Amino acid sequence: MKRFAMTAALLLVAASASAAARAYDVRAVVEAIRHHSMPLSFIEADAVVRVVVDEQWPSDKLIAEVVRQSDRYSYAEIAGRPVLFAREPRYRLRVSGVKIAAMERFEAVAKYLELLMHQHPEFSKFQGWGYGGSFLGGTPAYVPLLQDKVTLTSSGEAVEHFAQLLGGDRNVFFDVGFFNWGDVERRSGIFYGRMEGATTQSPSDVVGRIHGKPVLRRETVRGDLLRGRVLGPLLKEYAVAKHIDATPAEIEQKIRADKEWEKDYPARLQRELLKVRNALAQAQNDEQRQVMTKSVAEMEEIIATEAARKVRPIPESISRQISRQVSRDYIRTRKIDQALWHDFGGGRVIFQQFGPEPLDAYRRFLETQQKKGVFEIVDKSLEASFWNYFRAEHHTFCDAAEGKRLMTTPWWTGK
């Protein structure tokens, strides 16, 4: 469902520094610490915070400077693990009724997040393993990280349980961060990783290459995930080469349309609920009643979650900056899709959650890039699942006329 999250803020923390120090995003500092071989777990603040440090400083000094320069972060050892975490109330919420004992981490994370989201609406759009792009779709035999047994206390704060999910391997860390869901909505999610030095890599660790740079198995264990790792960067390069971007006028028009959409959103939810209730009342058999009863429950849950949602006020200047970026990204994505459809032979168009997608043009684009050697699928066992998305028939396809309209007109303007 289309939503536009406007919760980010931009902060810049000033500090005195040595000649070698400069301003870094806190996430970049965390990556530097991990490069120092410290498995630091991290919960990212709902803001872009910059601190002035030297990446070569020892890990303990880097952590101390983040905490000293920004009131957004705290540091503590939680369940015996080093954690740099955002000072945000939702991570200190207590979760009870946890029944996870000697369970494989992959299953434990999924089970715990389901309970967390059920008990606390603040986590209703919190993502699991899939955010890390690493561990969807079952437990591969060659990724012990997923199979480590973990045990959680029956009650505890969310951040405590995140740390307990690290289990007994001292090289495992967790990471909570933000990402763009479908290039439209800003969401947060968690993934678990393990410190792996370059010396532990072997040829079998490399599953693909993009511009000659290796993509490692621990980052991408399935072909469809490798496809995502490949397609995103190549589409950005394509947009740059074709000079594809949104104009200022287009961005302003999109912002106005989004404001109208947001204003009408609660009323639209109620209208949708009324529709499904009417459909339930008119159901002709048990199967229809079962389907529509589920639809009514889902709509009621969406409305309740929306009513409970608390949005922090954001300065108008920052809110507008975020709106401009979201609108620009959305329009640019639509223009890239249309350019691909034109340049790569048209073809079938499918409906997706955040807009139409030129399925055949995507495939031809990737086939062309592969032939040019721009990317390579090293592990041939991933080849089929890499391409299956484009061959599957389960998509919702546009008819030819509608597909052409969506790929040749600025339909997102409402005109």
Q: Measured between alpha carbons, how far is 76 from 159 in angstroms, rounded to an integer?
A: 11
Q: Which of 32, 38, 44, 31 is nearest to 171 (CA)?
A: 38
Could you read off the pLDDT of 9-54 as tens digits, one per residue? 333 333 333 435 677 889 889 988 887 778 899 999 987 788 888 8
Between strands 172-181 and 41-43, the pairing is parallel
Domain boundaries in the chain?
A: 22-195, 248-413
Per-residue pLDDT, averaged over 351-373, amounts to 91
Give the lowest-confidence range in 79-83, 319-323, 391-395: 319-323
Task: For the chain, give percent helix, strand, coil, nearest 5.
Answer: 50, 20, 30
Could you read off the pLDDT of 239-280 as tens digits, one per residue? 999 999 999 999 898 888 888 877 888 888 888 889 889 988
Per-residue pLDDT, averaged over 167-171, amounts to 87
Q: Which of 203, 221, 237, 239 is nearest to 372 (CA)?
A: 237
CB neighbours of 257 closer than 8 A, spacing ≥ 6? 413, 414
pLDDT at 257: 84
pLDDT at 314: 58
Give me the half-sphere count of Cα atoms (radius 13 Å) on the Cβ side of residue 40.
25
pLDDT at 131: 32
Question: Is it the case that residue 368 has pLDDT exceeding 90?
Answer: yes
pLDDT at 31: 84
In 215-247, which residue ranges form alpha helices assigned H by DSSP?
Answer: 223-242
